[in-house]
Structure 1
Amino acid sequence: MRNIMLSRSTASDIEAQVNKVLRGLGNPEPPLRLEDVREILKLDRRYYSSTDDDFLRETISKLTVAGTQILMRPGLILDAVRKFDLRALYLPDRKRILLDRAQPHAKHRWNEAHEIGHSILPWHEDLMLGDHEQTLSPGCHAQIEAEANYAAGQLLFLQSRFRNAANDYTPSLEAIRNLKGNFGNTYTTTFWRFIEDCHNQLPMIGLIGSHPRLSVVGENGTKFRHMIESPAYRSRFESLSIDRLNREILTYCQYRKAGPLGSNEVCIKDRRGERHVFLFETFSNTYDCLTLATYRRPHASIAGFSGG
């Protein structure tokens, strides 16, 4: 899935809402404590299990007491959980966040921040439990999820605090590893935020997916779940095909299960047909492979680069 770029006006509206929260907390130092955010927003957090239908139904039935829309249509939540493989939910009428216990604990922080994002964006309330067709349409869902993701990133990375810190580093996977601990977030979420929000004049591509050489038998090459393009990349370059990206990664990717898997320089044509050199590097954290491609220089006629 390719990352969705929000319009500048929408991003500004979200930034303003997040800024209100952070100001209310006294502009805290990293890492952000989500329990403090829940307290100031008067949000409740509970858990459900997406792997246990009976438990999920029981959880939802207990939440229908005060919510007219939920009481009348409890199946709406069940449909949403299954159709979109939801990891968390926000119920605006109860100001309650539900997290899926079945998800790895490391992902709970991002999932909770995502639902907090929904809660602080006023225009999301009607969409969360509103008209069935509108709420569950793929286009609408993708847009509101991108907006909640942006709000979550702005919260967890304390807006410009992360950008300023990241801009002091030369872009690399090592820099992202160094930054993740300071803000208390996962490698994957730090990786995503770094590409979308830092070094804004530098074209970058990020890929998140399974190990290119250790995929499950039957898969056709790497399954990239996400392709992240920086604003600078998208303004100058076309999106590369999954097959092309997979081929390039396989030219250097090692078989080891964890740690650095290798790197290589790759040529990519810009929208004017001119060739430029990017450095591709890949790292495995055992459950995901992260590939970062960063712009290096215009291409010169030097042997050894792949073309295209």
Structure 2
Amino acid sequence: MTQPDARPAGRTGSRRGARDATADAGIAAGTGTPADARPAARAGTPAGSRSGARRTELAAFLRSRRERVTPADVGLPPGLRRRTPGLRREEVAQLAGVGITWYTWLEQGRPINVSVQVLDAISRTLGLDPAEHEHLYRLADVPEVTETGGRRTLEPETQLILDQLDPIPAAVYNARYDLLAWNDTYEWMFPNLTGQPPAARNALWQLFTGRDCCNPVVNLEEELPQMVATLRAGFGRHLGEPVWTDFVRRLSAASPEFARMWDTHDVARPGSRMKIFQHSVAGLIRTVSTSMTLASPPETRMVVYTPADDESRERIAWLRANLEVPTPDHVH
């Protein structure tokens, strides 16, 4: 099986875009005319590559959000038969108070300047939720958020916290779902992930490419789209970065299901939700996962899987009391 790119190891040695060219002045004055074009970065430079990737992603994201809004959603009559789903570009421009040509350029990925006021108006018109609103800002480079500076390794105290959480399963992931650290209970529950070499220790990769018999997640129909949407939001902060681009390319090639979900352009923030797991020995375990952002390294989060009922709590306790670190009981 093709493996994801190399990643930080967990516990080493342990078990574990004239009218439309005068934009911002007009917008500020309430005329709805577009801002002057921002010069594009020179083609072939790293900055140009990243800028072009952002514009392409922004264009696709805006189209996907526009197509999901119906005329009825914004108080417009249905009108004549529409060739495409959702609102027309001119309708979005009118409702947001911007020039039609300018909005068309924006959705075509042209290198034009975008003000905060205009982004907010477009966001309201398209009914974006907080995660989508943040994603829109990042793609429009207002402001740019990158994973630069700061520590790249986990603080020593992070592992101590994970260990203190036992017997509650807990782990640390980065924004690509690379598994960075975990505690004993997590390892006992998910040996097929923690037992992988560091370069293959990625939760998304395992869920989308692993065999059904080795997949511990029961509520996949709810969980996988949420995880892909969270990955897409992270991807918006790293457009043009080879590690991210390569990971998405390879996982899309390995899993048509991932590719389909990725093409929806849905975005989400990490959050609390029910996760149900089937352990090969302990049985069904229901948990509520809570995601907490860590200060260092950037874009890492600790996820704690709290048992959702007494039965699940008892099964985890039994697992800890009766098993050594398990290994897969079959080969493929």
TM over 0.5: no
Highest relative contact order (Cα 8 Å, sep 6+), 1 or 2? 2
Question: TM-score w.r.t. structure 2 length?
Answer: 0.28
Question: TM-score w.r.t. structure 1 length?
Answer: 0.30
